[in-house]
Structure 1
């Protein structure tokens, strides 16, 4: 069986983390969740979006060799890291290029309606699941405005969930 890298695309609060957990269980994959790692490693340092971007870059630099080692060992990996804009997706492309032809991939595009994402954001803010940060609707709107759906010319295998 071909080792596969599964990764997520979708607006904030679309349901990507829930799907990530389901995929990891379904495929017997190692799940690596950016939000949980960032919360554990930098519990007080991330105060805003710019902080998130800086610490996420650090985390990716550390996680990438580990992910490649797992894939090369034949272990499927689910990365619950956002692939929400082309620049973020370039990191996943670099992982796949470095992993080589023997590794498959699926970008799981969780295409949840905007209003439903806001409902789920409120629920997440109430429930505070592991790794989640409270986010206002204003912050959600600002971040969602940056979202770019995957395009065929990016060359990813995309599975869409509506």
Structure 2
């Protein structure tokens, strides 16, 4: 698991920087608006599974816009391969409304940085988002791992999930 997030950090940070330099500001300003609206929605009462699916669809569209803005087919290919694994991890961790709310705010900041052509902020906002994502996974994943029968555990009690 550690390796997945290390690679994700490198690739997505580079992609957000390139998108800030090469992307169309108006496209990412619109994503900032969408993520801000989602942040407000996710702060409300319980969110339905359909709304969660819609939110993840927005993230996919954002990722596709970042991919296009990088204008780097090698980076896009690597990120697409990585996203298959990230989606699996996301399913394993489940979702919490508070994490989704924070994610929407983090994505809004990344989109804002890209729309303002601030590559440094895009990089740092991406790192913060990925850090929070991996921490959520670690906290979500460990209880289920701890409860697994001894022969089915993939880590020891003191080991970090990989």
Q: TM-score, normalised by structure 2?
A: 0.29
Larger radius of gyration: 2
> More strand per residue: 1 or 2?
1
Q: TM-score, normalised by structure 1?
A: 0.29
